[in-house]
């Protein structure tokens, strides 16, 4: 009789670790990283790196950016959100990069803004990339 009771208990102990639930973390990033206004063949766009070392285990990724023009302010909004499972996987860094269009700009001096960071952008003089960076927010 004791052997019959031990067998089901042993079976439960062996199966339980295999059916245990795994948990995950949700990551939300907004207006962090590096965003650059790039002039490419006469057209400006934003090239943004929202996270330079996201987990390779990331799932349910939502990544993007948007540029709005308010007077002489060019406002860049970037975002990334994803889930990271606690399951075992190879931990490699993935760069989360996105691009978005910049509205047509008349000549003048603009203020490029992302979060609390800003820098001037002169049109048409700035032919080099103009970047804003914000980390740890």
Biggest CA–CA distance in the chain, Å, is 91
Residue 99 belongs to what H/E stretch? strand 93-101
- Rounded to two decimals, the pTM is 0.76
100 closest CA partner among 70, 122, 120, 75: 75
Question: Which residue has 């285990």 as its token pair?
Answer: 57
Beta-strand pair 73-85/117-123:
unpaired
CB 117 within 8 A of CB 36: no
Q: In 3-state terms, what secondary structure has residue 11?
A: helix
Q: In 3-state terms, what secondary structure has residue 53?
A: strand
pLDDT tens per residue across all 137 residues of the chain: 444 433 343 333 333 333 344 578 899 999 999 999 998 888 899 999 999 888 888 889 999 999 999 999 999 999 999 998 877 777 788 899 999 999 999 999 999 999 999 999 999 876 788 999 988 75
Cα dist from 103 to 31, 32, 57, 70, whole Å: 19, 21, 35, 11
**DSSP class of 128:** S
Token digits of residue 112: 């490029």
């Amino acid at each position: 009789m004791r052997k019959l009771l031990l067998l089901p208990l042993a079976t439960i102990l062996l199966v339980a670790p295999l059916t245990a639930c795994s948990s995950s973390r949700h990551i939300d990033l907004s207006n962090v990283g590096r965003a650059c206004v790039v002039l490419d063949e006469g057209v400006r766009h934003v090239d943004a790196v929202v996270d330079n070392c996201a987990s390779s285990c990331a799932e349910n990724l939502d990544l993007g950016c948007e540029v709005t023009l308010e007077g002489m302010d060019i406002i860049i909004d970037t975002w990334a959100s994803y889930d990271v499972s606690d399951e075992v996987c190879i931990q490699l860094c993935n760069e989360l990069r996105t691009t978005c269009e910049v509205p047509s700009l008349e000549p003048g001096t603009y203020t490029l803004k992302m979060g609390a960071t800003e820098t001037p952008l002169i049109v048409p003089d700035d032919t080099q990339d103009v970047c804003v960076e914000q980390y740890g927010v």
